[in-house]
């Protein structure tokens, strides 16, 4: 059932609202002329009416002749989360991406960004002039953090309360369409981060309309979304229609589903299965693939398995295990969930089997965790050295560039890009951005602001960080996070950018690196020396990567796989601001090598 105010492009608008427990609903037109129009209800609680009206008109719903509320499926909230909804004409935008058919997922190199801090303007259209530079580095897809209307003008986006409305301070409906259209002209795919596990607290009026929430389950954000209790049919339809809306009306290429472990559904047909089925139908209609990428901390292979074998059919999922392995090796941190990681063996396991915890005992969780995903290809796992969560959920929002050496940043880039997985970078990472990415809000409820402040302090206890977290409500906290884009062209930042570009060019052009297949991979570890050697091959192409995670120079005897190995890249070269290479230009027999600290060397046959 299609929701919201759907304008047909010819003066007629169909209004559909799901409110099964409300006795009377009236459509209240606010502009251009105030009107009250009774609505009719069907047997499933969907109220409907239609009338001749112009796009841009404002409206809301009057419930039982008492409360007046915005449309929960509003396409636009020009006056914020407490104001009226706006009628949008989705027919008038001039799309020019008709030849675009999306990219194969194996070609994705994902760039996660926050619209508000990516540019000084903080808008969707301000991103457009920078797309060609991202593409030149080797990025093939941008991933936008949530855009749904949230309170105020600065927020990570996970406090959105109007899932169908594009945040006004970012540029609203047209801003997003212009960006997606421009991305497709550049050959870039667009992924949108969506939140189906909770809604934000301020401006959330959904409970006035229907039982959107369940008291059966609790999430870290309060009551869970009602996906399996009485009236769940309408809730499921609401979020499925939301997913279809982004893909159909905004030409989005894929959705990143936030924290699906917070989607509780014990019904026979899980919400994610139904979502996959509906999106597959849309994909057939549009003759192009739409991707679903899950965030989950369950390490559960069912998320990725096809529907035919009882899985949820997600195309991919984020791999926090890979991140935690890499982060602990680079930084030495071992607090909180990092206590489960820190050995080269852990990263070796991630390379070989995608997860580290596949039914193994987790000291942090104090239980056995995860299951095997040996039947799933490595192209279903998105890996990263940094993302918004892993930076922003640190008390001071430090990036890796603030925590490790320049050499270690190059090693981090190589570990991600040369892996058999799908690489993701957080905005600015490609040139070693040094501004923090902190948590920020602009709620108007002072009690809620204080609750957020206290909640943040509580979150950091397990990490035993010293001091006070920056005030998430302060404008200065937000401003600190804006990228210093000019640094891409300066000093070490320019070199790191070129290093990423070189690695991504190698991944794109060398068959052994382009092929996402763990069956064509072997790994050897020297735990005491903190050294990993990665061998990847495909047909006649072979690559041998040496990764030294030790913060000191080591001497190790290495026997390479059979063949004459020619050096292709050495992070120690002066070209990359290294101290000078100590490794041979070629070798084919067992040899004792002196390997500088935090270094990456790539050989090829």
Q: Is 322 annotated as a binding residue?
A: yes
- Matching CATH number, 110-194+233-439+449-505, of 3.10.105.10, 3.20.20.80, 3.40.50.300, 3.20.20.70: 3.20.20.80
Q: Where are the beta strands (DSSP E) in 512-564?
A: 521-526, 531-538, 541-548, 554-558
Can you tell me whether residue 534 is helix, strand or coil?
strand
Q: Is 391 annotated as a binding residue?
A: yes
Q: Is 321 annotated as a binding residue?
A: yes
CATH architecture of 4-86: Sandwich (2.60)
Q: Is 467 annotated as a binding residue?
A: no
Share of the chain above pLDDT 70, in %: 100
pTM: 0.97
Catalytic residues, by residue number, are 258, 295
pLDDT confidence of residue 345: 97
Query: CATH classification of 520-604 is 3.40.640.10, yes or no?
Result: no
Q: Is 257 annotated as a binding residue?
A: yes
pLDDT digits (tens, 9 = 90+) for 580-594: 999 999 999 999 999
Mean pLDDT of the chain, nearest integer:
96
Q: Which residue spans of the chain are classified as CATH 3.20.20.80?
A: 110-194+233-439+449-505
Q: Which residues touch 509 (CB under 8 Å, ≥6 apart)? A: none
**339-350: average pLDDT:** 98
pLDDT digits (tens, 9 = 90+) for 509-560: 999 999 998 999 999 999 999 999 999 999 999 999 999 999 999 999 999 9
The pLDDT-based confidence of 348 (bands split at 50, 70, 90) is: very high
What's the half-sphere exposure (Cβ side, CA atoms, 13 Å) at 604? 14
Q: Which residue spans of the chain are classified as CATH 2.60.40.1180?
A: 520-604
How does DSSP classify residue 145?
P
Could you tell me the sign of the dihedral formed by the alpha carbons of 293, 296, 299, 304, in that order? negative
The pLDDT-based confidence of 466 (bands split at 50, 70, 90) is: confident
CA–CA separation, 256 and 259 (whole Å): 9
Q: Is 108 annotated as a binding residue?
A: no
Can you tell me whether residue 447 is helix, strand or coil?
helix
CA–CA separation, 297 and 260 (whole Å): 8
CA–CA separation, 359 and 372 (whole Å): 7
Q: Which residue spans of the chain are classified as CATH 2.60.40.10?
A: 4-86
pLDDT digits (tens, 9 = 90+) for 201-225: 999 999 999 999 999 998 888 889 9
Q: Is 260 annotated as a binding residue?
A: yes
Q: Which residues touch 466 (CB under 8 Å, ≥6 apart)? A: none
**474-488: average pLDDT:** 97
Q: Where are the beta strands (DSSP E) in 373-516?
A: 381-383, 422-426
pLDDT for residue 462 is more than 70: no
Kindly list the distances between the CA atom of residue 347 and the CA atoms of 224, 306, 412, 500, 519, in Å, as whole numbers in the listed order. Answer: 34, 27, 12, 21, 17
């Amino acid at each position: 059932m299609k929701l919201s105010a759907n304008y047909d492009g010819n003066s007629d608008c169909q209004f559909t609202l799901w409110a099964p427990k409300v006795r009377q609903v009236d459509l209240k037109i606010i502009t251009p002329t105030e009107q009250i129009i009774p609505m009719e209800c069907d047997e499933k609680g969907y109220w409907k009416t239609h009338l001749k009206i112009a796009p841009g008109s404002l409206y809301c719903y009057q419930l039982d002749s008492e409360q007046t509320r915005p449309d929960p499926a509003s396409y636009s909230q020009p006056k914020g989360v407490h104001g009226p909804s706006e009628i949008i004409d989705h027919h008038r935008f001039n799309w020019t991406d008709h030849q675009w058919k999306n990219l194969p997922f194996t070609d994705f190199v994902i760039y996660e960004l926050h619209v508000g801090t990516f540019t000084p303007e903080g808008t969707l259209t301000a991103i457009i002039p920078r797309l060609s530079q991202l593409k030149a580095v080797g990025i093939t897809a941008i991933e936008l953090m949530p855009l749904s209307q949230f309170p105020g003008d600065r927020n990570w986006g996970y406090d959105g309360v109007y899932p169908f409305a594009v945040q006004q301070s970012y540029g609203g409906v047209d801003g997003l369409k212009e960006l997606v259209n421009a991305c497709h002209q550049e050959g870039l795919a667009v992924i949108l981060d969506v939140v189906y596990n909770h809604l934000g607290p301020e401006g959330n009026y959904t409970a006035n309309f229907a039982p959107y929430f369940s008291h059966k389950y609790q999430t870290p954000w309060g009551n869970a979304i009602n996906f399996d209790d009485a009236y769940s049919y309408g809730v499921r339809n609401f979020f499925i229609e939301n997913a279809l809306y982004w893909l159909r009306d905004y030409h989005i290429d894929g959705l990143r589903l936030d924290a699906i472990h917070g989607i509780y559904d014990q019904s026979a047909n899980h919400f994610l299965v139904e979502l996959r089925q509906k999106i597959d139908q849309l994909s057939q209609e549009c003759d192009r693939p739409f991707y679903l990428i899950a965030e989950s901390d369950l390490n559960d292979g069912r998320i990725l398995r096809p529907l035919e074998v009882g899985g949820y059919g997600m195309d991919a999922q984020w791999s926090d295990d890979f991140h935690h392995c890499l982060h602990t090796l680079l930084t030495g941190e071992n607090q909180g969930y990092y206590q489960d990681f820190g050995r080269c063996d852990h990263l070796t396991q991630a390379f070989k089997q995608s997860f580290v915890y596949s039914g193994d005992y987790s000291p942090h969780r104090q239980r056995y965790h995860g299951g095997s995903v040996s039947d799933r290809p490595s192209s279903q796992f998105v890996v990263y050295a940094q993302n918004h969560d892993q930076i922003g959920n640190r008390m001071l929002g430090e990036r890796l560039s603030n925590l490790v050496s320049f050499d270690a940043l190059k090693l981090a880039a190589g570990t991600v890009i040369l892996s058999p997985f799908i690489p993701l970078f957080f905005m600015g990472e490609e040139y070693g951005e040094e501004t923090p990415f902190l948590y920020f809000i602009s709620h108007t409820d002072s009690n809620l602001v204080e609750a957020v402040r206290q909640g943040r302090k509580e979150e950091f206890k397990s990490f035993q960080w010293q001091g006070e977290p920056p005030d998430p409500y302060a404008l200065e906290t937000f401003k600190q996070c804006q990228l210093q884009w000019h640094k891409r062209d300066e000093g070490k930042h320019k070199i790191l950018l070129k290093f990423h570009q070189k690695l991504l060019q190698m991944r794109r052009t060398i068959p052994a690196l382009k092929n996402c297949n763990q069956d064509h991979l072997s790994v050897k570890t020297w735990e005491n020396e903190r050294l990993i050697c990665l061998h990847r091959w495909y047909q006649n192409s072979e690559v041998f990567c040496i990764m030294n995670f030790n913060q000191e120079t080591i001497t190790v005897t290495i026997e390479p796989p059979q063949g004459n190995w020619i050096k292709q890249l050495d992070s120690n070269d002066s070209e990359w601001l290294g101290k000078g290479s100590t490794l041979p230009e070629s070798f084919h027999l067992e040899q004792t090598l002196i390997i500088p600290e935090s270094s990456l060397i790539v050989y090829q046959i």
